[in-house]
Structure 1
């Protein structure tokens, strides 16, 4: 069995799609399943390389990005050249360029679409993309949805439920060596107060405005610490300063990867304040759960976020865009050590038993084998 993992980009380019493609590729090769990568490059020239694990990575030259899509004519040619060598082509979606490349190449291999999100923010572009997306959905042999709620709510998947299998995303636990020392320094930096930690790109759908609203209502012995860079970082910092909330919430900017475990370790609770279905899953929640942290998230309709964070089991879900409700949920956890410990332990158990990269790889490999054996049945609502 040979697998081609088709991703928008690939590490060291960082992103949700890229991290999933990396975990699957690394995991499959560790299982002895030959898996290579085809993606767009961030520059003009096509690059061919071997990973440290020995698999091929082809980064097709690109002219740049338009509407979050790499403009890569070279990707069409590389797809046609490579696709005949593989039994399964696994495509990380949404990716209009990948859809165009597959339409151009017309591979005979089995095609698996990994449906990480609908196209939500670019509705005008979606109208142009929909015919190509519909062709790819018809052509696909299987579609992986990341949670049952997202599979049920996705408009694009309604006509193709017979092809859908739910396989939750999983991660490799972050390396927490040295986290205790970093956590101690952070607690000292923030005056020994209880830390509410949040982490994500500074973009509108992460809902950090709501978290600012919540911060002003938290107990005086708590502080909100938000990590991440992005286009709205200065906007949020300016709002915090203008409203006199500097002692309540701090946007610390991008956190180096090696320092992130220390922030999780220092946190009393983790909060994800996202406001729309563009937040389809919340992979960062898995990092918090792996570190045994209780979670507060938003109950986004049709998103997988409230499925990942089970209400009153691993944490609390609150209404979208409701800063007062978010503050109340955070305060409840901050002021009840036994509850925080129970949520944290349940989250860690849920992560270890269901949401690891190893589990994701195993379920995906099972799907590949059943596809190639001609014995695939949809599994839209597994007992997870």
Structure 2
């Protein structure tokens, strides 16, 4: 939808926690936004921590020291800073001052920080002169109350210096004390994805779809996607599985897997759960197309958005999500439009919603169709990139980037 020169000449430095192949919603967002901005003509660079000693793998659970290395992700320069240790989500990265200084010396118009990210917040606090700072606020610090309280003054200092603070949805702002404190500079920038792999699966994804359908053997296939951490609501899903037919495929890794496996055995559903771990992209697309619904059972505001909902919606898959107060989750997939929304932590309500999809004629098909339409209209990566460049321009007092005819949308929907 955008002119190729929409970001021409703009130099953007993104500061992220990690970068793919490290898994995670924030990591995927930084990559998607960086690539999409570069496609619109911006010069884009990313600084982040190196998630693994060999730079490979998907887990960013700390596994010892890692080196500093520089790579290119297409047109995006990615510098992964080596870590000596990680304590209380703070990464010790000795090369950070030197590499940040080197990146800034190349010329930067916008520094775009993605939070929560205490290491980068403290690093920027001590830099006296910075280009205009934009902050995408992905989530409040919810569970780490003591560390969060100690860190709060440093966070507030940087947010006060920022030119704009970007919330992933308007729905999240009212429940965030930090965002409310800086309401005058808060703008919404909904997260988006490159939807083409989900809208038009490749041959490998279709093969994976056939595999997952065969595993389901005609029974409903329920899907969960995400790190196995407390706020994903995995235990609620296991309880709900007792009340519905079919198989639950859990895609992801994390510290709660062992406990979740014990819970599944205790609940008598272990033989109907597939622990898939991390899935390659084509296999995940296949699972999304084979599934009956995505179960998105978040139980805390740490779950602020849910990009896996967008993946499911673009695949034409209904979403069963939760009404987390002051979170964007229920805004991404809308109740009775693109899925069904149930109370937080209510396994019976989740099971009842799943049974509705099986028992009400045409419901799953209608929700899936409208989910796909909403994903294409609101959550495309090029839409997100153009919005971000517009926000940069507005804050800097520059003319807004020019919008071209919506050719990208026509291609995605198969009209051209």
Structure 1 length-normalised TM? 0.92
How far apart in 2 are the matches of 1:318 and 1:156? 27
1:180–1:58: structure 2 CA closer, same or farther, 3 Å change rule?
Answer: closer
Which of the residues 25, 39, 44 maps onto 2:48? Answer: 39
What residue is the counterpart of 1:184 in the other structure?
Answer: 210
What residue is the counterpart of 1:136 in the other structure?
Answer: 158
Q: 2:209 touches 2:283 (CA, 8 Å); kept in 1?
A: no
1:10–1:180: structure 2 CA closer, same or farther, 3 Å change rule?
Answer: closer
What residue is the counterpart of 2:181 in the other structure?
Answer: 159
1:86–1:66: structure 2 CA closer, same or farther, 3 Å change rule?
Answer: same
**Counterpart secondary structure, 1:137:** helix
Deviation at 1:374, TM superposition (A): 6.5
What residue is the counterpart of 1:121 in the other structure?
Answer: 143
What residue is the counterpart of 1:381 in the other structure?
Answer: none
How far apart in 1 are the matches of 2:332 and 2:391? 22
The answer to whether structure 1 residue 59 and structure 2 residue 85 are counterparts is no
**Counterpart secondary structure, 2:390:** helix
Q: 1:91 touches 1:114 (CA, 8 Å); kept in 2?
A: yes
What residue is the counterpart of 1:382 in the other structure?
Answer: none
Which of the residues 310, 319, 322 maps onto 1:295? Answer: 319
What residue is the counterpart of 1:217 in the other structure?
Answer: 243
How far apart in 1 are the matches of 2:217 and 2:11? 54
1:215–1:174: structure 2 CA closer, same or farther, 3 Å change rule?
Answer: farther
Which of the residues 358, 374, 378 maps onto 1:354? Answer: 378
How far apart in 2 are the matches of 1:127 and 1:25? 31
What residue is the counterpart of 2:101 in the other structure?
Answer: 80
Deviations 1:251-309 (A, max 9, x none): 33332333111111111111111111111101100000010011100111111101111
What residue is the counterpart of 1:252 in the other structure?
Answer: 276
What residue is the counterpart of 1:27 in the other structure?
Answer: 36
Which of the residues 223, 234, 251 maps onto 1:227? Answer: 251
Deviation at 1:366, TM superposition (A): 0.5
Matches within 5 A, 1:193-208: 193-208=219-234
Deviation at 1:108, TM superposition (A): 3.3
Deviations 1:103-131 (A, max 9, x none): 22223311000010111121111122111
What residue is the counterpart of 2:22 in the other structure?
Answer: 13
Deviation at 1:95, TM superposition (A): 0.9
1:83–1:363: structure 2 CA closer, same or farther, 3 Å change rule?
Answer: same
Range moving further from structure 2, 300-309 or 99-108: 99-108
Which of the residues 338, 343, 356 maps onto 2:367? Answer: 343
How far apart in 1 are the matches of 2:47 and 2:227? 26
How far apart in 2 are the matches of 1:217 and 1:325? 10
- Contiguous gaps of at least 5 residues in structure 2: 1-9, 52-64, 401-416
1:288–1:65: structure 2 CA closer, same or farther, 3 Å change rule?
Answer: same
Deviation at 1:41, TM superposition (A): 2.5
Number of equivalences:
373
Deviation at 1:39, TM superposition (A): 1.6
Q: 1:313 touches 1:343 (CA, 8 Å); kept in 2?
A: yes
Deviation at 1:172, TM superposition (A): 0.9
